[in-house]
Chains A and B, each alone.
Chain A
Amino acid sequence: MLGAARRQLGSGPMLGQVLRRLRPAAAAARGYSAAVKEMNVRDALNSALDEEMSADPSVFLMGEEVGEYQGAYKISKGLLDKYGPDRVLDTPITEAGFTGIGVGAAYHGLRPIVEFMTFNFSMQAIDHIINSAAKSNYMSAGQISVPIVFRGPNGAAAGVGAQHSQCYAAWYAHVPGLKVLTPYSAEDARGLLKAAIRDPDPVIFLENELLYGESFPVSAEVLDSSFCVPIGKAKIEREGKDVTITAYSKMVGYALQAAEVLSKEGISAEVINLRSIRPLDRDAINASVRKTNRLVTVEEGFPQHGIGAEICMSVVEESFEYLDAPVERIAGADVPMPYAANLERMAVPQVDDIVRAAKRACYRAVPVAATA
């Protein structure tokens, strides 16, 4: 479904205006030391696409409504005007077909960016993502590499029910041959998308609709066209010593808010923005846990066989003797997403849930959730 919530429509500036519209940061509250400007995630993605398309003519963008409509969420705004219909292709609604076509083009010398209007629809294309994209470098003994990016909004949106609200991080992270990236901030979005487009392998790039309009401080370095964020490296968003909280995408923001609450109660939480789900930065996670001795994992997806489970296993394997408390996992409820707003709220992690889990890990008394 068309996801562009009204508040987001039209808020993306035309390309070229992006830089001019940068505003000085009111307060560098998020702790970006060199931050001087602000940029929203939509503009970060748009500028990354623009720069990579302009740097490499073999890069092209295809998907539903990416051209004349300027993107269902306006991420590709202005690109059709600038690069023309040969490089910005509006496709019919046939994910299985156009994803396979994208993969074939990547086999044969191009660097496609396939936009899914939302990642939910990638389910109709998953055969090509897994069988045709992820496995062919291996099957062909390295003869056929697949430099392709699959990108689009992922995770729970608001009020759209079970089929449109789902996190695919764990699904794709399960598959050898795929890289799975989960940007949170504008810096992540820009740096990781540019890295993904330049990468020689298939990359799943999971954006979040609810973050598109959010602004973040960005440094001059981030705005430089050479800027890239390395794939496979996590980022410590906030340093702490009592408990480690891992999160990705929108949940990083929640974890930071939880850390703020916890700090008022004397608990110093370290927040790790995973950035890359596969490869997973096991070193960064384990180094942090060895320091704090406690771990809370946060994800929006379903709990079973999820990202938290994998992180927990990594810590059990590598740092078990450092743990002072059982690992806490915060995840979405183990149910399809309900439509009713009150049930929906219960089905996705809230800041309070993270705070309570961190307190449990620190052996502080926690009242049971009382809200209905």
Chain B
Amino acid sequence: MAAASFTAAKFLAPVAARSGGERAPPLPAGASSSSFARTLRRGGAHHPRLRTALAVSSDVLAGNKAAHAAASNPAVTREEALELYEDMVLGRVFEDMCAQMYYRGKMFGFVHLYNGQEAVSTGFIKLLNQADCVVSTYRDHVHALSKGVPPRSVMAELFGKATGCCRGQGGSMHMFSAPHNLLGGFAFIGEGIPVATGAAFAAKYRHEVLKESGPDGLDVTVAFFGDGTCNNGQFFECLNMAQLWKLPIVFVVENNLWAIGMSHLRATSDPEIWKKGPAFGMPGVHVDGMDVLKVREVAKEAIERARRGEGPTLVECETYRFRGHSLADPDELRKPDEKSHYAARDSITALKKYIIEENLATESELKSIEKKIDDIVEEAVEFADASPHPPRSQLLENVFADPKGFGIGPDGKYRCEDPKFTQGTAQV
């Protein structure tokens, strides 16, 4: 890989300045003295020099509770700011409603809420086009919402209703929406990463072999996953292939410091996840995931790189979940001061403050957005509640794209042609 084709230095400069805050003053270009950069230089002249950005975990390691420096000049227009605000509030209000509905027995199983991490979903997904893909985990409701899946169809899915985005067949951990190119919530650790990499492969193939892509460049895939997932082999395997084949993908780590009750620091030998990008020859970026504008800036650069065909980027977003791992988690291991440290950095409150300080909108305009979202979520619940349960016949549908996959019955006909099949009473 030639250094010239690798824009990391250019790319990392603004990032280091932003994400480092007081913890990591940006180093002047070419003057990097980090052991990491030294290692790279020792490793061979064909590696670009990378600047460091201190990772999230350094904050925790040092017990440093310093607030981050705010961005200096407005990075977004009024319209953009309001779009971001609306999307983040939607994510928050929707998830709070899910908790209520879960405790009322309207939804069941494992429900993993996204509260606290909104800046990541909004910061990335609001930059994507319809044709771009999102691949998520079991913590997927809000990624679905940001990608444009209507709140009522996500809520109905959670209620297990026939009007849900997967007709009640998928559930909380498995949101799919083909029209929105939401390629799934994957419930197993790591398994979404290769699938996302495959979608990026397809985008490149369609562009180069089938000559299908639009004038803007490649369709981009964004894969979201947690810190705990970065210890899983599939992550490393895909970093390698994505860079090897220069695939249009952004790997977004939502580092909320915990994997259920396992602290990130107890689970990984080097807690700075972003460093694993350069180890595979791609840029690795650390960003404050509680600041939607910083996330958005990093996301923009990474998505554009991917779109231009320059390959993947690994982005580590330092964030925090405000609730337990799932609604069944007693959440006994996280310390109250850690929780309050991050609660004080709530990304929605911060954006609100920024919007008002920069005179992008008034308090009452923001209030009316909040009101609008409350109504939308309320309506989603009413819709889900009033929707029908899936009919019995649905049990045997969709196992195969070709229903003949159920084979031939004793009468010599395809089982799916037996009327009992659609009534759901067939023995298959």
Is A313 close to B, CB under 8 A?
A: no
Query: Contacts of B406 on A, CB cut-off 8 Å?
Result: 334
In the bound assembly, the distance between CA atoms of A92 and B168 in angstroms comes to 32
Is A230 close to B, CB under 8 A?
A: no
- Pair A69/B262 contact, Cβ less than 8 Å: yes
Give chain B nearest CB distance to A23 CB in angstroms: 25
Give chain A nearest CB distance to B309 CB in angstroms: 32
In the bound assembly, the distance between CA atoms of A371 and B329 in angstroms comes to 35
Give chain A nearest CB distance to B228 CB in angstroms: 5
CB within 8 A of B399: which of A9, A90, A335?
A335
Give chain A nearest CB distance to B240 CB in angstroms: 16
User: Which of A140-148, A159-167, A177-185, A191-199 faces chain B?
Assistant: A159-167
- Pair A72/B109 contact, Cβ less than 8 Å: no
A90 with B109: in contact, given A2-B326, A121-B188, A161-B174 (CB under 8 Å)?
no
CB within 8 A of B262: which of A64, A120, A157?
A64
In the bound assembly, the distance between CA atoms of A148 and B261 in angstroms comes to 26
> Which of B168, B170, B261, B428 has the most C-beta atoms of chain A within 10 angstroms of its own C-beta?
B261
Determine chain B's interface SS by DSSP, over half rule: loop
User: Which of B55-63, B90-98, B389-397 faces chain A?
Assistant: B389-397
In the bound assembly, the distance between CA atoms of A339 and B170 in angstroms comes to 6
In the bound assembly, the distance between CA atoms of A334 and B398 in angstroms comes to 12
Is A15 close to B, CB under 8 A?
A: no
- Pair A158/B109 contact, Cβ less than 8 Å: yes
> Which of B186, B395, B396, B406 has the most C-beta atoms of chain A within 10 angstroms of its own C-beta?
B395
- Pair A338/B395 contact, Cβ less than 8 Å: yes
- Pair B424/A159 contact, Cβ less than 8 Å: no
Within 8 A of B (CB), among A1-39: 1-6, 9-10
Is A284 close to B, CB under 8 A?
A: no
- Pair A1/B110 contact, Cβ less than 8 Å: yes
Is B294 close to A, CB under 8 A?
A: no
Query: Contacts of B157 on A, CB cut-off 8 Å?
Result: 339
Query: Contacts of A10 on B, CB cut-off 8 Å?
Result: 330
CB within 8 A of B172: which of A5, A161, A335?
A161
Give chain B nearest CB distance to A126 CB in angstroms: 13
CB within 8 A of B173: which of A69, A90, A161?
A161
Query: Contacts of A92 on B, CB cut-off 8 Å?
Result: 228, 231-232, 259, 262, 267-268
Query: Contacts of A324 on B, CB cut-off 8 Å?
Result: none
- Pair B168/A343 contact, Cβ less than 8 Å: yes
In the bound assembly, the distance between CA atoms of A175 and B191 in angstroms comes to 25
Give chain A nearest CB distance to B292 CB in angstroms: 27
Query: Contacts of A9 on B, CB cut-off 8 Å?
Result: 328, 330
The chain A residue sitting closest to B157, CB to CB, is A339
Query: Contacts of A346 on B, CB cut-off 8 Å?
Result: 392, 395, 424
- Pair A338/B260 contact, Cβ less than 8 Å: no
Is A200 close to B, CB under 8 A?
A: no
Contact flags (1/0) for A81-95 with B, using CB distance below 8 Å? 000000000101110
In the bound assembly, the distance between CA atoms of A65 and B326 in angstroms comes to 15
Query: Contacts of B259 on A, CB cut-off 8 Å?
Result: 92-93
- Pair B262/A372 contact, Cβ less than 8 Å: no
Is A139 close to B, CB under 8 A?
A: no
**Interface size classification for chain B:** 35 or more
- Pair B169/A338 contact, Cβ less than 8 Å: yes
Is A347 close to B, CB under 8 A?
A: yes
Is A97 close to B, CB under 8 A?
A: yes
CB within 8 A of A157: which of B109, B161, B166, B229?
B109
Give chain A nearest CB distance to B262 CB in angstroms: 6
Is A260 close to B, CB under 8 A?
A: no
Is A316 close to B, CB under 8 A?
A: no
In the bound assembly, the distance between CA atoms of A347 and B424 in angstroms comes to 11
Within 8 A of B (CB), among A70-87: 72
Is A333 close to B, CB under 8 A?
A: yes
Within 8 A of A (CB), among B134-186: 138, 157, 160-162, 166, 168-174, 186
A343 with B173: in contact, given A65-B260, A69-B260 (CB under 8 Å)?
no
Query: Contacts of A64 on B, CB cut-off 8 Å?
Result: 260, 262
A94 with B233: in contact, given A159-B109, A164-B110, A339-B109 (CB under 8 Å)?
yes
- Pair A339/B328 contact, Cβ less than 8 Å: no
Query: Contacts of B428 on A, CB cut-off 8 Å?
Result: 333-334
Query: Contacts of A65 on B, CB cut-off 8 Å?
Result: 260-262
Is A68 close to B, CB under 8 A?
A: yes
Is B108 close to A, CB under 8 A?
A: yes
- Pair A336/B266 contact, Cβ less than 8 Å: no
CB within 8 A of A163: which of B168, B187, B232?
B187
Is A309 close to B, CB under 8 A?
A: no
Is A229 close to B, CB under 8 A?
A: no
Contact flags (1/0) for B300-335 with A, using CB distance below 8 Å? 000000000000000000000000011011100100
- Pair B390/A336 contact, Cβ less than 8 Å: no
Give chain A nearest CB distance to B256 CB in angstroms: 14
Query: Contacts of B390 on A, CB cut-off 8 Å?
Result: 338, 340, 342-343
Query: Contacts of A94 on B, CB cut-off 8 Å?
Result: 231-233
Give chain A nearest CB distance to B185 CB in angstroms: 9
Is A55 close to B, CB under 8 A?
A: no
- Pair B168/A340 contact, Cβ less than 8 Å: yes
Query: Contacts of B262 on A, CB cut-off 8 Å?
Result: 64-65, 68-69, 90, 92-93
Give chain A nearest CB distance to B42 CB in angstroms: 28
The chain B residue sitting closest to A4, CB to CB, is B328
Contact flags (1/0) for B374-408 with A, using CB distance below 8 Å? 00000000000000011110111001000000100
Is B362 close to A, CB under 8 A?
A: no
CB within 8 A of A339: which of B169, B231, B261, B330?
B169
- Pair A164/B168 contact, Cβ less than 8 Å: no
Give chain A nearest CB distance to B267 CB in angstroms: 4
Contact flags (1/0) for B94-108 with A, using CB distance below 8 Å? 000000000000011
Pairs of residues from A and B, 10 with the lowest C-beta to C-beta distance, nearest first: A339-B171, A159-B109, A159-B108, A340-B160, A340-B168, A69-B261, A92-B231, A1-B110, A161-B171, A160-B109
Q: List 5 contacting pairs A-B, 8 Å CB cutoff, sorted by A.
A: A123-B188, A159-B108, A159-B160, A334-B406, A343-B395
A sample of 7 more A-B contacts (CB under 8 A), given A72-B260, A163-B174, A333-B395, is: A1-B138, A93-B228, A93-B232, A94-B231, A159-B160, A340-B161, A340-B168
